[in-house]
Amino acid sequence: MLREALKVVLDIQERDIQMIRLMRMKRERLAELNRIRFLRDDLHHQVLVKESEIIELKKQARIIEGEVTELMTKAKKLETQQSGVKKVEEFNALTHEISAVEREKAAKELRLSDLFDKVAAEEDFLKNLKSSFESTKQNSEQIEVEIKASIEAINAEGKEIMAHRMELAEDADPEIMPIYEKLLQNKKDRVIVPIENRCCSGCHIMVTAQHENIVRKGERLIFCEHCSRIHYWHEALAPVEEAVVKGGARRRRHAKAE
């Protein structure tokens, strides 16, 4: 009785493990999608910031250009004024004033030329930024399509597994199922496991000979003392166990049988 009931739940367990694996894959793919989108949006943001920085620099340049023009007009005016002056003191005073204006203008022109250099450098940088944004955008579109397709495939596979699981659950023992489901929720791993080489194959801790004997009898549910998983005796459930115990363990058993 218990043997048959466990067989059904083991079958359900395999579906649940598949679902856990699928959901993990889906989470990974979604994280990848977010990372790609973040990188692309970050580049886009950098482009926008750089563009507004350049606009600001150009605005500053225009203001200084205006100031230079004003200073030029001022110098010309002073020169005209100077040409009409008769007194030497006045003439000298105007010479001082004109040279002060010229100095100021030269300083502004230097600033302006630095600004133009900076604008040119920033525009080069922006050009590179834009081209890497464009290529990232194209790449990410491609990758997004792939990821979305794989998520759809995961969803379809999940749907199938769940449908099968629901069918199986109809025949499942109503007393074992809630226990199994609670354990699965805690462990996110197989919770009905065979005893192998006197060990719990869930937590790999040794069990006593007495414990093994009780499990072998298969009269009632026996839990691992260490990890609370449900134990079964694999030879009693041989056909299901093929799916549960993989690779090395199977080979070991065959070697023993020979």
> What residues line the site for Zn ion (CB under 5 A)?
200, 202-203, 224, 226-227, 229
108 vs 229, beta carbon nearer Zn ion = 229
Q: What is the 3-state secondary structure (H, E, C) of 117-130?
A: HHHHHHHHHHHHHH
DSSP annotation of 234 reads G
Cβ count within 10 A of residue 249? 16
Provide the minimum distance between the beta carbon of 142 and Zn ion in the complex, in angstroms, as a whole number.
46
96 vs 226, beta carbon nearer Zn ion = 226
Residue 38 CA to residue 60 CA, distance in Å, equals 33
DSSP annotation of 203 reads T
Provide the minimum distance between the beta carbon of 183 and Zn ion in the complex, in angstroms, as a whole number.
11
64 vs 199, beta carbon nearer Zn ion = 199
**E strand map for the chain:** 192-196, 199-200, 222-223, 230-232
- Residue 105's closest CA among 59, 64, 77? 64
DSSP annotation of 101 reads H
Provide the minimum distance between the beta carbon of 200 and Zn ion in the complex, in angstroms, as a whole number.
3
Provide the minimum distance between the beta carbon of 184 and Zn ion in the complex, in angstroms, as a whole number.
14
Contact 168, 240 (CB under 8 A): no
101 vs 191, beta carbon nearer Zn ion = 191
164 vs 187, beta carbon nearer Zn ion = 187
Provide the minimum distance between the beta carbon of 186 and Zn ion in the complex, in angstroms, as a whole number.
13
Contact 68, 105 (CB under 8 A): yes
